[in-house]
Structure 1
């Protein structure tokens, strides 16, 4: 009796052929799925950064023939007192804006998540509302608040018996820098309020119920339960806020443009004005400042990770 023959492919291994085909299809799918994102990363992130490194070695205004100057831009940058003044302003913002945003957002989120207010949903919308506005709108709104003639701040002070006249808060060196902090805090609280409130809502209610039965106060529950369990979210938020403080300058550009007399200048705005501001354009020098800012951001990220490592809590 003749034996039935089985079709043999790929050197007599039909199962291996099927596995190889499946593996090829998986690789093709991964390649097709990641190529757009990877291509976008190369085109819009990696290539501009490499180009910035190249520009930082040039003396170039964008029009004339570029001149290779090596590390001279970096030497000039470290000798530029305006760079260090702008960086100092960034440091002041770093130690004020992120802590204020996180503190206010945490308190609001904790209250909204653990207390049943009558107009709870309305409060949530009001707290998140500033985040809906653009940075330009927020800056223009606060510029009106600080206006010396028609400003709401001066009018409010007069109502409580403090008459400061037509004092321009953004026009005086003593107050301009500190006046730029409230707009940044007000514009950032809404977003992190939502983040923290969602994080708090994932904590099991049984933990709070057990703490209440043991007589724990709201403060104890906040510091012994809430904060330890959402610490990873707080750490990521702190990283984003600190990096945003160092990179961002849009609100300063609109409110003061670094004035008066550079008293509100920040490193990002100083870099922008060197590249695109009025007067002499120096893309090489601006690129050197950008590389310096990149190193600062990387070091800040590493320091935050080091200080907050292995402090997560679990339930």
Structure 2
């Protein structure tokens, strides 16, 4: 194996199919998208080149793009600061649930594998103004004055959307942390207990540092996914009311396919790719840490 890996020609031939597929599926579409981002094409017919006018318009006069970027950042912060710490805590607790461990593991992960359409419509029903479960519960407990048009109010809609998105993705975050925790050798726990460490000390001083590689991957995936959210937001609010729940992907879709500003939409898509790449590099460098072997 070492002899094969030291032969650059062999390594290149082995990598070539994957590189070609990557170029066809990723690089070429991005290049084409950048090409159209320099035009005023509406999706059909003729078009002309406008240079970087679309990019200039995005930064100079498009307040909704700024709002969509802010919402994506808010979701990213929610995932990093709320969802993932909670997922780590639940993953640590579930392993001590004995015979209920497998059942809890399945129940926590189920929302992540159910159809996005189904779970989204479930939440739409919960937030419904007239027949929604949330307003009914508030009425039952004597807090009917707290009832709101949750998805129809700009002040509450973005919070509801972020809540649903964090709930939907919680299972994936949990299962990765749970797998990392279960991979910690029992010998380490026994040695820590012999040294007088409590269960809490073992989890937070030994297990948590060993989860750094998993934590790094999960955090990067979480932030990148925050910028790519589309289906759930579209089904919940379609970016409304008054564009208060626009995310970068939904705004891109709206510009390209609803307003027939295909060139403008491609400019947003290029910025989306650039932001995801920059965030990935920054987070990887910020969280870079050498972790010793078990």
- TM-score, normalised relative to structure 2: 0.91
Indicate the residue corresponding to 1:285 in structure 2: 264
CA contact (8 A) 1:177 1:264 kept: yes
Q: 2:56 aligns to what?
A: 75
Question: Do structure 1's residue 189 and structure 2's residue 155 form an aligned pair?
Answer: no
What does the per-residue CA deviation read over 1:72-122, in whole Å, with 9 as the maximum and x for residues that have no partner?
111111111111111111111111123322122211211122x14332221
Q: Counterparts of 1:195 and 1:58 in 2: how far apart (Å)?
A: 43
Give, in whole Å, the separation in 2 of the partners of 1:168 and 1:107.
33
Correspondence for 2:235: 254
2:61 equivalent to 1:117: no
> Which residue does 1:50 correspond to in 2?
31
Q: Note the alpha carbon deviations across 1:137-158, whole angstroms, 9 max, x for none.
A: 2211111111111211112223
Partner of residue 100, structure 1 = 82
Q: CA deviation at 1:313?
A: 4.1
| Pair 1:209-2:209 in alignment | no
Unaligned runs of 5+ in 2: none
Deviation at residue 59 of structure 1 after TM alignment: 0.5
Show the counterpart of 2:158.
177
Q: What is the correspondence of 1:210-289 to structure 2 with a 5 Å cutoff?
A: 210-277=191-258, 280-289=259-268
RMSD: 2.3
Structure 1 length normalisation: TM-score?
0.85
CA contact (8 A) 2:228 2:249 kept: yes
Stretch moving more, 73-82 or 236-245: 73-82
User: Residues 149 and 166 of structure 1 are in contact (CA less than 8 Å); yes or no, is this contact kept in structure 2?
Assistant: no
CA distance in 1, matches of 2:239, 2:57: 21
Q: How does 1:36-47 map to 2 (within 5 A)?
A: 36-47=17-28
5+ residue gaps, structure 1, are: 1-22
The one-character-per-residue Cα deviations of 1:160-211 (angstroms, maximum 9, x if unpaired) are: 3211476221011110000112211111111221211111111111211222
The CA deviation at 1:300 is: 0.6
Task: Decide which structure has the larger Cα Rg and report it.
Answer: 1
8 Å CA contact 1:228, 1:313 repeated in 2: no
SS in 1 for 2:99: coil
- Counterpart contact for 2:126–2:134, Cα < 8 Å: yes
- Identify the structure with the greater helix proportion: 2
Query: 1:307: which partner in 2?
Result: 286
Deviations along 1:267-310, one digit per CA (max 9) or x if unpaired, are 11111100112xx3111111111111112111111110121112
The size of the alignment, in residue pairs, is 289
In structure 2, the residue matched to 1:294 is: 273
CA contact (8 A) 1:139 1:255 kept: yes
Partner of 1:129: 110
Q: Distance in 2 between matches of 1:136 and 1:29?
A: 46
User: Is the CA contact (8 Å cut-off) linking 1:61 and 1:282 kept in structure 2?
Assistant: yes
Write out the 4+ residue segments of structure 1 that deviate beyond 4 Å after TM superposition: 26-36
